[in-house]
Amino acid sequence: MNPTLEAILCNWQLLDGGGLIGLGLLALAAARLARESGSPGASIMAIGAEFLLLARLYFIVAPHVLSNDVLLAIGAPGIALTIGLPPLLLGFGLSGVVGGLWGHLRHLRAIPLVAAARPPE
């Protein structure tokens, strides 16, 4: 097998890093859009992208941090939180990005067109 392909398939660090960079860029782009346009939908989209970034970071870090000793120390409520937190972050993140995109589109449609920007009739 190709050594590069084997490193990608066996270690996953390259894909994890790419996913984190991509979600980080999505969060930065949504935050910039929120700042420049003043759209509340863009702000919701930025928050949703940050939730997705946190969820991805949790999936990467949790196997290294949550050992049996830590799970024993945090008890049943902590274990329930470690099980319920990732789907909650992913759900709020995805709904924030989709809802923010919809809200930003509504914000753009509410802005009247300038006469100079209209195509000639």
Q: Choose among 71, 72, 66, 56: nearest CA to 20.
A: 56
pLDDT of res. 17: 83
pLDDT of res. 100: 92
How many C-beta neighbours within 10 Å does residue 88 have? 12
* Contact assessment for residue 79 and residue 30, using Cβ atoms and an 8 Å cutoff: no
Q: Which two tokens stand for residue 69?
A: 């000793």
Residues of the chain falling short of pLDDT 50: 115-116
The domains of the chain are located at: 27-109
Output the CA torsion 71→73→76→81 (10° steps).
-60
